[in-house]
A and B are shown apart, each in its own frame.
Chain A
């Protein structure tokens, strides 16, 4: 293309558009009307995961290994389904503790260790540099290609231009400039860059559209749809191999390693951590991102294979660098406009990745590496400087430039030897080293600072030896001998077959050994010693983040003296005087204190100040700075554990309280029921007393009436007197009987009755009763028949009580039989376990509805028509039933006058005495 300037102008214009969006986003954010407070924007910004690796590299990977390009996108999909737990927890922890980078996160968890923060930063920077080099390589290659349009001039391998003529160098500089513009215009205590996030979301849309445009063009423009491409590919053996598993697509271990690596990278790459955790505005946005981000990945991968196959078909196998097919296909078919769009899309992908990655890295370098070192150098007098916020910004800007130049150096050193994806995987393996300490930070309270240091160091060392150094060696930067023959010629130390391990590809090999060393050291060293006070505290703050409120633990774990006059200048030094003043004023306002000067420098305020500082210079440095102006009394491990215990106990108490209140309400319900029952019983008792007094009054009235007549009239003749006295006597007897029976019933019911239980022969009981009531029968002229078996087993019962029951039944029977024609039969039946005594009469019978009533107290059966005035007390049957039931039997009545049956049959049963022999 003659218009080299056109490409440059278009590129700068596009970056300018991105910057304009960022600027607009920042202004809206300052005005309080954020444009990124939408879940879709958050999901799209996560797509910064797709860099030029995806944009150019996937096609190259697919052309070489078929489906082997996909695990890198399946991993994030799987990870996001766990994102609901893992990512949410990371976001919550980072927010409550104001953590602004992955180094800060890990350092804070393991006791706010500056050393650990520094180590994480070093690993992140060194590990990510190949990845940045990848972007530079992709952009400069695509630029060079486009520049020579319509010729397709593949960049010559191994023949490097001097850096002054190397487009990659300028790409690095331009990207550095834009990153500085995006990320370090001012210092933010939360490290939030809303505008940048908006730009990244936009950039994600652009690269997806551009890539899909090429995909559609290749599939439907050059070829005739998917089917056409696949049919043509199957015709060529070299291409057909790419369509199935096995061979070039890699082994099971390789597939597994790539999936695992990409899962970890989804959260642990500095830029992913930054976008997903630090820039998260609202935890609820995660909902959408969980499925929208994987959907984005699926869409951007749809056309990878068609483009790869299309390129291979078009240029022939080995006819061109497959990493550039996305660009060279439109060029070769003479579509300069589409080619320019592709270039812009690639630039977009690279810019997004580089901007976010270097901003995240520069924050780490500044907060966790440079500042701690500078603050230690007392001769610089930094601790005395009034305003360090400008210095912080300068350090970050320098760090951005340095990181990009390092990326460029790596590109010059090793970039040519590798395909894009292979370079990227080196970085993935590096950040995977954070996984054990990160997972431990979220879920394990036993991890210690020493353990984390040991794990990271061991993993990083193995990664360097098995992956990074070989990449240098393969590009001729190091002697290749140590790959071929091992270090010092020791075959066991061959970096790609360490200790003789073969059969794995280099990534899986490195992953296995580095994870083994990393996890082993982390766990081993952590378990060697119990966590100290600050480690235990931070562990609780992290692991229990959903259960603790910051106030309950954070400030509670600090004891000491401080003065506002010292805290304010400290904050002003790092945040700038206005921001510090504003932050403290806001704090005073929330506490209801009128002026900052009146604030009490208590634990809460110190904690708040440390938080503010942590946002600006990292939690480890913040702690050191706060400690410099505050007289802190160190807390012992016991005290920390006590305070944590208290927090736990408070939770336990509240749980207990809840439980108790539940029990209480259950008890209340029980009491209410009991009360209801008591009221009912009380009513029954009142009824009973009313009935009893009524029953008592009837005979009393008649006694009184006859006595009065006798008393008032002395002239009543003797016969009448005798008759009256006879009635009085009878009524008195009835009264006595009634009272005895009431007492009897009360005794039985209250369980205080005395039972003299012996083995009883029922025949004898019947005989005795019959004899006792014989006079009654004679008097009324009622016939009595007794049919008793010859032998009968005995029962255990109280003989007198049984006679009482028998006599009650007999007297009832005789009472209701008609005189002279009446007939009563007594019989004893035998059943396997019971003896039955039947008393049958030929009286009027008892109607069905009365059959229940007669067993109730003071209810008497029978029509007065037959029997006249009731003669009993109404307590005989109830008492009899109580007695029989006490012995384990039952008292029933069988009668059916409605059906024309004559008479009634009363029966009671008694259980046979265990092992009773017939007598």
Chain B
């Protein structure tokens, strides 16, 4: 029970993190015309954060047994 409550809290934290990282006003900080590895910074950022969130979710939930 405690363990699943911890998993729940972690998932909520991931949700809040995602809400902040993938929204205004943080998003425009990466919204310029800069380029990273030949990719527009904006796309690299959004996809990286997105993949990161999914990885976190997978780790948290698959570890909870």
Contact = CB atoms under 8 A, between A and B. Distances in A.
A226 interface: yes
Given A256-B23, A290-B57, A298-B54, A82 B42 contact: no
A295 B46 CA distance: 14
Interface in A283-309: 287, 290-291, 294-295, 298, 302, 305
B46 A80 contact: no
A1 interface: no
Given A245-B27, A246-B28, A294-B53, A226 B8 contact: no
A315 interface: no
Nearest to B51: A298
A661 B36 CA distance: 63
Given A67-B43, A70-B46, A78-B18, A227 B53 contact: no
Interface of A: 67, 70, 74, 77-78, 80-82, 84-85, 226-227, 230-231, 234, 240, 243-246, 252, 255-256, 259, 287, 290-291, 294-295, 298, 302, 305
A240 B42 CA distance: 12
B40 A81 contact: no
A361 B42 CA distance: 39
15 contacts: A67-B46, A77-B53, A81-B11, A81-B14, A81-B18, A81-B57, A82-B12, A82-B15, A244-B42, A246-B31, A259-B22, A290-B11, A291-B62, A294-B57, A298-B50
Given A81-B18, A290-B57, A259 B23 contact: yes
B33 A295 contact: no
Contacts of A252: 24-25
B19 to A, nearest CB: 6
Interface residue SS majority, chain B: helix
B22 A74 contact: yes
A260 to B, nearest CB: 10
Contacts of A80: 57
A290 B23 contact: no
Contacts of B32: 244-245
A305 B43 CA distance: 9
B25 A67 contact: no
A251 B40 CA distance: 19
Interface of B: 7-8, 11-12, 14-15, 18-19, 22-25, 27-28, 30-33, 35, 37-40, 42-43, 46-47, 50-51, 53-55, 57-58, 61-62, 64
A287 B38 contact: no
A245 B28 contact: yes
Contacts of A78: 15, 18-19, 22
Given A245-B31, A246-B31, 16 more contacts: A70-B46, A78-B15, A78-B19, A78-B22, A81-B53, A85-B11, A230-B38, A244-B32, A252-B24, A255-B24, A287-B62, A290-B11, A290-B61, A294-B50, A298-B51, A298-B54
Contacts of A295: 54, 58
A67 to B, nearest CB: 6
A29 B47 CA distance: 39
Contacts of A245: 27-28, 30-32, 42
Nearest to A298: B50
A819 to B, nearest CB: 79
Nearest to A66: B42
A70 B43 CA distance: 10
Nearest to A245: B31
A81 B58 contact: no
Nearest to B28: A245
Nearest to A292: B58
Contact of A77 (B18, B27, B37): B18
A287 B46 CA distance: 24
A649 to B, nearest CB: 22
